[in-house]
Chain A
Amino acid sequence: MGQLLIGLINGAFYAMLSLGLAVIFGLLNIINFAHGAQYMLGAFVAYFALQWIGLGYWWSLLLAPIVVGLFGVLLERAMLKRLYHLDHLYGLLLTFGVALIVQGVFRHEYGSSGLPYGIPPQLSGGYNLGFMFLPTYRAWVIVFSLAVCLATWYVIERTRLGSYLRAATENPALVQAFGINVPRMITLTYGFGVALAALAGVLAAPIYQVNPLMGADLIIVVFAVVVIGGLGSIMGSIVTGFALGVVEGFTKFFYPEASNTVIFVIMAVVLLFRPSGLFGRAT
């Protein structure tokens, strides 16, 4: 059961990060390589807020997505926008470069060891469920991230704003002809995807510590999760995120040597039988 819990925690982060990637990819057709760095930035904003101006966890939960989201908006306006007429690979390379710079700067300033970030007092402690001990903070992470994921899904699939977004994914020129400001929508979408990453970063801060490289390796696992789920599918990325976290958790218990590679093995198998992912459409 403990492994199931750890799996669900990891799954919560996979789901939130792959959801952000999927939202960005859907509209911009860009794989946001800077996603891991932006997740790390979220955690650092929380850390700075506490150290410099004494703002606690709950404020950070609100502040970090906004700050990092604005950073994303600037990045999109200043750089990504210039690449839309080119091969999508350039977008990937650009965000990769941005990730290197951001991670390099933070590693230069704070080294590679983690900075501690405490669990907020309201969420410390835990429940004894009889068969296992459930720390309150971990339960909170799972519930909160699930809520965020489902809310995002609801907005995109069930509201008018979401329908504009989906229409712009299909045919941006036509949507623009109907009088909707597509470039602004693209900017905001990128900002939103980035904000999701930052939110995940704040959630992760008390569990994994704040570390300049916390997103660097995680993001590659998330890429594999996205490939398995199929790019551009919202519900697909949520479900595969949680499911793969659980699978990974169980692998850690039954066959620990394979716990790092199991997601990639699943990816290889999925690719053989469904090249566009479990929930993806054929390209």
Chain B
Amino acid sequence: MSQDARQLHQLLRIGSARAGNALASLAEPLAALLPAGSAIDARLWQGLGALDLWQRSGLLLPPAAAPLAPAPQEHLAACPARAEAWLSLLLRGVHPSNLMEEWLLRLQRHGARLPARFLPNLLETATRQPGFQPLVAPVLGERGRWLASLQPAWSWALPQPEGAGRTQLWETGTPEQRHAVLRAWRADDPAAARQALMDAWKTEAPEQRAALLGKLVIGLNLEDEDFLESALDDRRKEVRAEAQRLLAQLPGSSLSRRMLDRLLPLLRIERPLLGAPRLVLELPAEPDKAASRDGIGAASHPGLGKKAGWVVDMLAAVDPGTWPEQFGCTPRGCLALAEKSEFAAVFVRGWTLATMQYAANDPTPGVRDWIRDLALWWIGAAPPLRDAMPRFLFGAFIAAFRDGRDGVFTALIDALPGDWPTDASMLGLLQTLANDGSGWAPAPSMRLLQRLDTAQRQFSPLPHPWHFQQLLPGLARAIDPVTAAAFIEHWQLDSESRGEFNTFFDIVRIRHEMILSFQEPA
């Protein structure tokens, strides 16, 4: 019969006009069913139709492939039913965006796993947007990892192999796999990981070197210094820049010391009889070969002169904790000294960059002091000087103080001037604080709500309503939803501002409900 089917399909493909009257009769019992004496074109269709029915009414199933090994038992709890319903709404895009991250974090904190039916959606999302991977991986559960092992594009979700498997993957894997291996290796055995990179260094493709070297930031320590120093002489600019960056944030590195040695002769404190003391800077000479090797002149600093930029490069490579010791004052005191200087912007920018570098790996108390003082100083600083401080410092601020433990975050909200709603840079600051991270602690959230309340009473209608329309949804996503939901229950809103606050209220309530959905028993 399958012979017949093939013949008929072939005939239909080329057409009977070309094939001639070449239709052999069908096998019994179908042949007897077809009307005798019809033309070939009619017989072709009748034959195909009969064969179709013949095949469909007596299908022979082929043998299946070897079965898959089933997924292991789960160890995490199941996702609560209401939280699962929330995920379904989020995946359908019913709710405003940006809530997915929070949902995933809540699930992780709840010690639960993703519902099986949505695993393909989240694995796919996190494959397309790698930012989701650290959020999705911990809630995949055994089922999720099992599923990821069946789809090559989802291999990021698989646990990193250890021991011999790791060495093998490091030697033979794709670039992405090797990066992942080096990251994981570095986290649990920095010395062995560095050795592996050094062994492969000569044969490594030049374009891979910079990216692989960058992984040493994980567990960076003084034992890495020799290797990094040798990378300062690499032929590729990207590799040299990466090595400079790493050495600059390595506490106690000789690169830092060399930078400090270059800086100290250029600085002195002038204490006039009248007026406040100030920092005096003498601009440096053209960098020599050794200075260029250390990265002076490598970065561009818009708004600053060439020589001033070299000083920023030097300042950025020195532990910021050095200066309070050097000048015998707090970071805030250092900033006061700098403010009076002709080169205030140079100091602000250099110290901020250094603080950012040193904040990357678990900031020390000295670095946290700098983050705090820079942020508070910025609010009171003269507008032109504010521009010297890169705004991403506030990202580090959120990361360091969002838990609200030491009251620093609340103090920052307190420090906003009374007329903040009319000041575009203060609105911009809040926008940055909102965008850089949700999960504000209850205390600063409460303080922010109180300040919003005062503002909407004081300014009616609100100044810059369009600016508020953008700012409020971000704040609603960042602040503590439980505090906020309780606060807005009794909030008397001025009717003029109601429009701007509507979205704010919606998001607060949605987040609050979403969080409650996790509190029911699974």
The answer to whether A and B come from one shared complex is no
Interface residues of B (CB under 8 A from A): none
